[in-house]
Every structure is written in C-alpha cells, then in structure tokens.
Structure 1
Amino acid sequence: MASFPAVLQSEWTKIRSVRSTIWTLALTFLITLVVGGLLSLVTKLNFEEFTEGSSTPFDATGTAFSGILLGELAIIVFGVLAVGNEYSSGMIRVSLAAVPQRATLLLGKAAVLGALALAVSLATAFITFFTGQAILGSHSTTIGSDNVLRAVIGAALYLTMLCLFAAGVTAMLHNQTLALGVLVPFFFLLSPILSAVPYAKNVARYFPDYAGSRMLTVYEQSGQPYGPWAGFFICLAWTVAAIAGGILVLKKRDA
C-alpha cells in the first residue's frame, strides 16, 4: 500500500518529466500577460473613445486581465494532458499496479496539479495585474483599492479550478483527445452562445466558467444573479464534482 506522500512524489515526477505539460503552464502565464498588456496599451491610447458614454466606472483590473480567456485554454490543456498522457501511453496500468487505491492515486494527482496550477496562476495574476496597471498609467488602479486584491486572487483561483475541472473530466473520459473535444467546445462555444440566448442564459450563468469569472469582478453590475463569492462556490462545486466523478469512474472501469 503506497503512502500518500509517496504518491505525491510520484505524481510530481510524472508531471515535471513531460515537457508538454510544462509548456502549457508557461503558455498560461505568457498568453495572459502579453494579451493583457497589449489590450491595456490599446485602452490607454484610446481611453476617451473606449469610455465615452459608459455608465460604469472604468475597470482597470478587468482590462489587465483581458487575456485570461486565452490563458484559460492553456491551463485547461495542462489539466487534460497531466491526466490524459497516462492513458494515451498506457502508463496508467503501471500507476495502478504501484498504487492500487484508485481514489488515493487520483487525489494525489489532483493535489499536485492543484498546487502547481495555483502557484503558476498566482504568479500570472499578480504579474499581469501590476504590468497592466503600469501600462495604463494615470488610468490605473491599486492593489489596495476596493475589491481589487480579491479580484486578483480570484483570477488565480479561477484558473486553478478550471485546471482541476479539466483533470476530473479527463479522468472520467479516460481519453485526452475526447476530453479536449468536450471541454474546448463547451467553454469556448456552447457556454458563450447559451449566455447570449434569452432563456438559456439563466442556465449558462451557473456553468463553471461564468461562475468563476464572477470572481474577477471589481464593480458589480445590475442584472447579475449572484456575486463573486457565490461564483467561487459554484465553480468549486463543479470542480469537486468533476474530481469525484473521475474517482468513481476510475474505481468502476478498467484502466
């Protein structure tokens, strides 16, 4: 029977030994930072035009995080690859032979993935925020302003939970290609489309991406069904359900 610390060490070794997973984490950082910086620059150069007639305060934090949508894609791919590589290579059989306790195996993998994703996401969120504010200049905000620190930390938690959600879905499907085929259309096609449909948007507002994005909100807008903290718990519930589903499928299906 493998101890949990041994499982954590094993999972850490697996992740850092596969270059594709490390590159996707690096892309999460680079894409979020670069796109956010470029859009902050465009906003600064066209500030009067962009804010003309606006009834809400300018959201300097949201502008800095404009690239997080593409960053989501990279960290979802990271979660999928970190779990799916074992199935595509057949190494899952070796892992299960070493750790017969299937729940322990997946929880250990989730713990390592979550810790690594959170570390990268925190660095991404804070560096992206401060870079964006430096570019915005006189239109910037500060980390000590109302709701800003919560939004920055919320961005990191949001990316981390998306990573773990993707990992749980991949564990349920046992196939990284199928997982990407489900997750990418769901987050980047189905969810945005349903959010724009009058009746369907009442359901889409409780999808993990919409709920998680509420955590980045600095200024509350009218017509929103819930606030940032409710969004956090909804996104967390989706994440826990995905991991639990992965454990259940792993226990009931052959590798």
Structure 2
Amino acid sequence: MTSPATPQDRRQEPEAGLLSFYASPIPIRPATLGDAIASEWTKLRSVRATVWTLGVMVALMLTVGVCTALLLAANDTDLVGEPALVLGFFGVLLGSLCVITLGVLTIGSEYSTGMIRTTLTACPSRVRVLAAKAIVFFSLTFVITTVTATVVAVLQTLILSGAATPSGGEWALSTVGVGFYIAGLGLLSLGIGAIVRHSAGAITIMIGVVLLPLVLALFMFADDLRSVQRFLIEYSIPNQLSALYGTTMTNSGPSGWEPLLVMLGLVTVALGGAVALLNRRDV
C-alpha cells in the first residue's frame, strides 16, 4: 500500500517534468580554428609580456636606427653609395631577441603555470591549438616589425639625404622582408618552446642558435675548417638578416629573398617536431 502524495511531492512533480524537457537557448556547435584563434588572441593581448617585449623591440629599432643616422649626419659621414636602409640592421638584430623571448613565452608560459591543461581541455585538438598560436603570433609580430622597420627606413632616408636612393626591391626587402624574417624567427622560437616545454631553456637554446654559429666561426683558424667556417658565417641568422639589407659578411651565401626560404625550412622542421611531440606526450 502506497502512502498518499504530500502537497510537497505534488509541487515537485511538475518541476521535475519541466527539467527533463529543458533545452538550452544557447546554440551548440563544434569549435573551429577561428574560435581557437580568438582565444589565443585574447590571451596574447591580455598579458603584460606581450606589451613589454614588443614595446622594447619597437624602442630598440627606433632608437638605434634613428640615432645611428643622426650620428652619421652630424659627422658628415659618407656612405659611399650605400643606401641609408642598411643602418636599420642593428636595431632589428637587437629587437629580434625580444621576439625570440615572446615566441617562447607564448607557449612556454602555459606549461610553467599549468594553463596548458585548461587550453587543451577547452580545445582537445593539439594541432589546432598550435596552429592558432602560430597564426596569432606571426600576424602580430609581422605587422609591428614591418611598420616599425618602414618608419625607421623613412626617417633614415630623410636624415641622410646624401645617401644613395634605395630601389623598390631594396625597400621591399628592408621592410616587408625583414618583417617576414623576424616573424619567422619568432615562430621558430615558438616551435622550440613547444618541444622543450621550459621557457628559460628554450630562450637559451634560441640565443645559442642566433649567436653560436658566429662565435664558433671566430675560432676556426685551421685551413681544413675554412669551408665549415664559411658555412657557419653565411647561414648564421645575423648574416641572413643583413642579406635582406643588401650587405653580407661574405661574398657568397643567401641573398635577396633567399634568407626567407632558409627560415621557412627551419620553421617547418621546428613546428613539425612540435606537432609530433604534442600528439605523443602528456601535458
């Protein structure tokens, strides 16, 4: 024999029925690459490291490039037919260290704080996460570097009015070409950061990649090592970057747009290795 329903039970029955047929008014759809890009853009623009590193890079490019031009103009230095654009190399080389740091921190900081677990929980596709980070970071770095390099190039040309007039190809290499190369260097750093999963270690590795070939070449005095010495100098990152400005440490090696192809190959290898390891390792 069942007991009669109490008034409290009768009040709860309709509520339970309503809950069983409840449907959320929020549309549910599968996540896309666009969603991952929006998420990574929010993270990148909301952290202070982005403002500091890119801000220092812009300051270095402007200060070093413009001050060098002003010093040469004050001393009436003759550039011997060289365009004033070559002076932008020094500021870009120093600013590249900032891009390397930010590229590593873009993914390395998430491993150090454990935020990567939340990221991969929200977006289980690890390839999509890495692709979104790469797209956002490359786009931001390319735009800022290209705009700053263009401003520096214009100011240097105006200050050093006696220098040779740059051609259209030289303008493109020293602005758009430099922007692509530095953004590619940042992607290489991002790939190394994803492989190493440790910010300090990945930054140290990338600084070694930039500086070590030239340092090693300085100590190769034996005749048997001349070919190795020449290779290290020609394909070092500072020499490839200077090639975009039309001046190199040797008479051979990559020139014109060729340094971009070399950097593209390095980025492909680094990001390919990062994808393979991300799919095989636990976070």
Match of 1:194 among 195, 216, 225: 216
- Shift of the alpha carbon at 1:43? 2.1
Q: Which residue of 2 aligns with 1:10?
A: 39
Instruction: Work out the CA distance in 2 between the residues paired with 1:250 and 1:215.
Output: 34
Alignment partners' CA distance in 1, 2:118 and 2:199: 18
Matches for 1:98-137 after TM superposition, within 5 Å:
98-137=122-161
Query: Which letter maps to 1:83?
Result: I
* Counterpart pick for 1:245 among 273, 280, 283: 273
CA RMSD for the aligned pairs? 2.2
Tell me which residue corresponds to 2:264.
Answer: 236
Paired residue for 2:24?
A: none
Kindly tell me the number of residue pairs found equivalent between the two proteins. 247
Check the 8 A contact 2:64/2:90 in 1, yes or no: yes
Q: Distance in 2 between matches of 1:92 and 1:25?
A: 23
Q: Separation in 1 of the partners of 2:213 and 2:76?
A: 30
- The structural deviation recorded for 1:223 is 2.1
Secondary structure of the corresponding residue to residue 240 of structure 1: helix
Question: Which one has more relative contact order, counting CA pairs under 8 Å at least 6 apart?
Answer: 1
1:4 touches 1:104 (CA, 8 Å); kept in 2?
yes
* AA of the residue aligned to 1:37: V
Q: State the distance in 2 between where 1:215 and 1:207 align.
A: 13
Q: CA deviation at 1:45?
A: 2.7
TM-aligned CA deviation for residue 26 of structure 1: 1.4
Q: Quick one: which amino acid aligns to residue 178 of structure 1?
A: G
Q: Give 1:163 shift.
A: 0.8
Q: Which residue of 1 aligns with 2:59?
A: 30
User: 1:174 Cα deviation (Å)?
Assistant: 0.6
Deviation of 1:117 (Å): 0.7
Residue 155 of structure 2: SS of its match in structure 1? helix
1:181 aligns with 2:222: no
- Separation in 2 of the partners of 1:88 and 1:240? 25
- The Cα shift of 1:141 comes to 3.1
Partner SS for 2:90: coil
Output the TM-score relative to the length of structure 1.
Answer: 0.88
Instruction: State, as a whole percentage, how many aligned pairs show the same letter.
Output: 28
Partner of 1:63: 87
Q: How many angstroms does 1:212 deviate by? A: 4.3
The structure that has the greater radius of gyration is 2
Write the mapping of 1:202-217 to structure 2, written as runs, cut at 5 A. Answer: 202-204=230-232, 205-217=234-246
1:39 aligns with 2:63: no
User: 1:105 is aligned with what amino acid?
Assistant: V
Q: Could you tell me how far apart the structure 2 residues matched to 1:214 and 1:139 are?
A: 19
1:47 Cα deviation (Å)?
A: 4.3
Q: Structure 1 residues 223-232 or 14-23, which shifts more?
A: 223-232
2:151 partner amino acid: I
Q: Deviations over 1:82-113 (max 9, x none)?
A: 11111111000111111111111101110010
SS at 1:228's partner residue? coil
CA distance in structure 1 between the partners assigned to 2:236 and 2:173 by the alignment: 21
| 1:150 partner amino acid | L
**Conserved? CA contact 1:61–1:141, under 8 Å:** no
CA distance change for structure 1 residues 140 and 64 in 2, over 3 Å: closer, same or farther?
A: farther
* Alpha-carbon distance change, 139 to 68 in structure 1, aligned in 2, over 3 angstroms: same
* Pair 1:168 & 2:168 matched: no
User: Against the structure 1 CA distance between its residues 213 and 221, is the aligned structure 2 distance closer, same or farther, given a 3 Å change threshold?
Assistant: closer
Alpha-carbon distance, 1:195 to partner: 4.3
Give the drift of 1:69: 1.1
Query: Displacement, 1:238?
Result: 0.7
- Give unmatched runs, 5+ long, in structure 1: none
Deviation (angstroms), 1:145: 4.7
Give the TM-score of the pair, scaled to structure 2.
0.80
2:23 aligned partner:
none
Out of 138, 142, 156, which is 2:179 matched to? 156
Q: What is the CA–CA distance in structure 2 between the aligned matches of 1:238 and 1:113, rounded to whole Å?
A: 17
